[in-house]
Amino acid sequence: MDISAEIKKLNDNEQLMSVFSHAMSVMHYDGATAAPKMSYIDRSKSLGLLSTYSYDILLNKENKENIKFLMDNRDLLTPSDKKRVELLQENIDKIEGIPLEEYAEYRALISESEAVWKDSKAKNDFKSFMPYIDKIIDIKKKFAAYFDPNKHPYDFYLNEYERGSDRDSFDNFFETIKARLVPLISEISDCPVPDTSFLQGNFPIDKQRRLSEILMEFLNIDTSRCVLGETEHPFTSHLSRNDCRVTTHYYEDNFTSSFYSVIHECGHALYDMGIKEEYYNSILGSGTSMGVHESQSRFYENIVGRSLPFCEYILPLLSNLFPQFDNITPNELYRAVNVAQPSLIRINADELTYSMHILIRYELEKMLFENEITAVDLPELWNNKYREYLGIDVPNDSVGVLQDTHWGGGMFGYFPSYSLGSAYSAQIFHFLNKDLNFAALVSSGDIRPVYEWLRDRIYIFGREKDPSEIIRICCNEEFNPTYYTDYLNNKFRSLYNI
């Protein structure tokens, strides 16, 4: 066989799979933003059929022979072709590794579990949801053993979301966070709370929409390739190289919710739109991991959007739209948007306390997979850990162990990537700030050089580079969580004068 001819076959197959992926992504986005309520009935059938066709392309005999030939000759391929062949072979192995009947039963269980979770959360009824967690854990362990019986199942799923990670790496990461941040959170709990009264009141939605346009312009979002929509829960959908959709939700009485969700989601969009053009329509045409993708949304949301230079830049623009900001100083705005206060709900947590929410979930997931506990133990342990790490009492399970959709959806191993993303962003920022005058660029409103620095070291590679390689490219050293804990200690000790 001729390698160049086989690469062309690979390109043609990936192009065809990307067509199905594009169509499914458009339908998902439409369903979340604009479609009528009952449209899900026909849409789900169409999505199921498109998904089947896409898998048939990947798993047909000719395509598998093509990928096997290229795998056998991968040392003769370019680095990018070698990587995508390896990733495609991994996908084939994962799909074929689970008996079809068992996978169908699992998907049916997840569908039921998600519905029961939603109802249980509304009724504060953990007992009804509890059996589903144990069933899901048992099946996840079984599936992990199909792929690698010698690998601990939780290590398998941690690596699924963050390539190269396992319990040891996350244990070290969270031990550093716990040692450095729990005492700081305790100290701050005794400090006076900064004034946030000017963030309350009425913020007309039409003016918030105008503010979103201002933010997207500041972030150098190419609006010929990216559009902002509205939905119940903000998300970003990367449909193709020239079609990225970000969404937000506006609340008239909560200005900061949409303000920061737009910045956060635009961080994801900048990553997606910065990938090398030739990687689109291939398996390399997305972010390298959940953690690295989250590092970019949190970089823009927190390191840029909650910085004093940004407050200096944005305050006059806020005053033009909302009278609440007329007599506010940049420092007052900076203190208000960085209030650190333990809270019950993860998605509402501030920059400092957020990782404590993730630490709690990680410790409980690990205990489940190590057979130390079962689902019946979760509420009590959850409540104890919230008291230990955040100093707050959980009044009921709806705002406690039932608050997240992840476990009902079988997404064990996902949570740690959120904190890892924050830590990546702090380390990346440390080295970016050595090359650029970050404060001057942000306060002037010209952050194009910041984007270009990140693009050239992270975005362009798509999935060609693993997370550890991306960190080395950005920082010329391995990942080190002390950059994150130092960043938070320096920032919040200065904010609270401690």
CA distances from 126 to 380, 414, 498 (A): 11, 21, 41
279-295 burial string, b = 16+ CB within 10 Å, else e? bbbbbbbbbbbbbbbbb
The gap from C-alpha 478 to its chain's centroid, in whole angstroms, comes to: 21
Burial class (CB in 10 A: 0-12, 13-18, 19+), 135: middle
Q: In what order do the strands lie in the sheet with 226-230?
A: 226-230, 243-248, 236-240
Between CA 406 and CA 418, with CA 412 as vertex, the angle to 5 degrees is: 70
Catalytic residue among 6, 14, 160, 265: 265
265 included as an active-site residue: yes
Paired tokens of 379: 């509420």
Answer whether 483's CB lies under 8 Å from 490's CB: no
Residues annotated as catalytic are 265
